[in-house]
């Protein structure tokens, strides 16, 4: 999920969140929170104020995105 959001952010703003460790860690923490929300809801909002260069990150992630990710596929195979 974090990779998906980071790639959207890169396309929209031209800034790579991977290059800033503090920004990347913030995103990982917010994605962990969003995954918990998605376990009970169909979508979750991810908002981080001033994630990099004073730009806010605001997006809505749908459960379908998580289910289609490669991580989810690996978990399903193990069950």
The CATH number for 36's domain is 3.90.640.10
Q: For the segment 17-49, what is each residue's pLDDT rounded down to a tens digit?
A: 999 999 999 999 999 999 899 889 999 999 999
For range 59-79, the mean pLDDT: 67
Task: Tell me what pLDDT residue 13 has.
Answer: 95
pTM across the whole model:
0.81
CA distances from 68 to 27, 32, 61 (A): 19, 17, 12
Tell me which residue range forms the domain holding 13. 2-78
The residue ranking higher by pLDDT, 63 or 69, is 63
Number of domains making up the chain: 1
Task: Tell me what pLDDT residue 11 has.
Answer: 95
């Amino acid at each position: 999920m974090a990779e998906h959001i980071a790639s959207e952010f890169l396309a929209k703003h031209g800034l790579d969140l991977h290059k800033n460790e503090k920004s990347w860690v913030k995103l990982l923490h917010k994605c962990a929170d969003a995954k918990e929300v998605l376990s009970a809801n169909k979508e979750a909002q991810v908002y981080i104020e001033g994630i990099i260069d004073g730009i806010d990150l605001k997006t809505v992630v749908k459960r379908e995105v998580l289910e289609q990710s490669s991580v989810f596929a690996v978990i399903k195979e193990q069950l």
